[in-house]
Amino acid sequence: MSPRVNISTDKAPAAIGPYSQAIAHGGVLYCSGAIPLDSAGELVGANDPPEQARQCLRNLDAVAAAGGGELAEALQVTVYTTKLEEFPAINEAYAEFFDDPPPARVTIGVSALPKGALVEISALVPLK
């Protein structure tokens, strides 16, 4: 069995708790949930769920690249949002990052997210 390998990059915000930005194992990169923080740790798009989704995906793209993968090739993505009524707008922003066929996806409405974020996104990305 291959060992778990910690993946981190300074091109995405550092973890804000006891977790890794991603773990590579068995040819897959398991990316932790990314909230819409910029590299300085500041929340992006305070009242703009689509812009927060874009920032989450930019962060995940940087983590995927650091691990040797590409977010555009994600196998599965999970989207958490406190604004499920904004799902169509979040969907439009999300679609900017994926060609056909898009990854499998789950979207979950939640009551709160860390740092007051409106969106958090995690991903499973194949490694090359």
| 67, amino acid identity | G
Q: Let me know: does 5 contact 25? Beta carbons within 8 Å.
A: yes
In the prediction, which pLDDT does 75 show? Answer: 98
CATH number, domain of 68, equals 3.30.1330.40
With H, G, I as helix, E, B as strand and everything else as coil, classify residue 91.
helix
pTM of the complete model beyond 0.85: yes
**Angstrom distance (rounded) from CA 3 to CA 77:** 23
In the prediction, which pLDDT does 103 show? Answer: 98
In the prediction, which pLDDT does 40 show? Answer: 87
Q: Can you read off the two tokens belonging to residue 74?
A: 């994600």
**Angstrom distance (rounded) from CA 97 to CA 40:** 23
Residues of the domain holding 18: 5-126
Q: For CA atoms 69, 73, 77, 79, give the dihedral sign.
A: positive
In the prediction, which pLDDT does 128 show? Answer: 84
Which residues make Cβ contacts (< 8 Å) with residue 112, sequence separation at least 6? 82
**Angstrom distance (rounded) from CA 76 to CA 122:** 8
**pLDDT tens across the length of the chain (128 residues):** 679 999 999 999 999 899 999 999 999 999 999 999 998 899 999 999 999 999 999 999 999 999 999 999 999 999 999 999 999 999 999 999 999 999 999 999 999 999 999 999 999 999 98
Domain count along the chain: 1
